[in-house]
Amino acid sequence: EPEVTQTPSHQVTQMGQEVILRCVPISNHLYFYWYRQILGQKVEFLVSFYNNEISEKSEIFDDQFSVERPDGSNFTLKIRSTKLEDSAMYFCASQRGGNQPQHFGDGTRLSIL
């Protein structure tokens, strides 16, 4: 069964550094999402992406964050200047259509030192 893959599984970065988290969504899916989950807290929506542009974004998704779908297969989340509070598990999800189930990757654990 096709699945969403995320790399790396764990990323350790110094505060202030840029980080790029990578996702390969399921190939025929049209909607793409990034979420984060701080340890012990609930899953939080960051951004949704459709038709090569951002559909919705949360208050968390400020100017330090950006998303790209550079080559039609990868979907990336960039954090320009990481802060300690960016430490979390980041999940990518994709969806065939707006009323289809979202499929999640296993996540990237981001640790900011």
Footprint on this chain of another protein (rule: CB under 8 A): 4, 31, 33, 35, 42-45, 48, 50, 55-58, 91, 93, 95, 98-107
Q: Which is nearer to another protein, 22 or 57 (CB)?
A: 57
Q: Hey, what amino acid is at 26? A: I
| 23 and 74 Cβ atoms separated by less than 8 Å | yes
CB of 110 to another protein, least distance (A): 15
Q: Which is nearer to another protein, 45 or 65 (CB)?
A: 45
Q: Name residue, tokens 């969403």.
A: 4
CA distance 33 to 50: 9
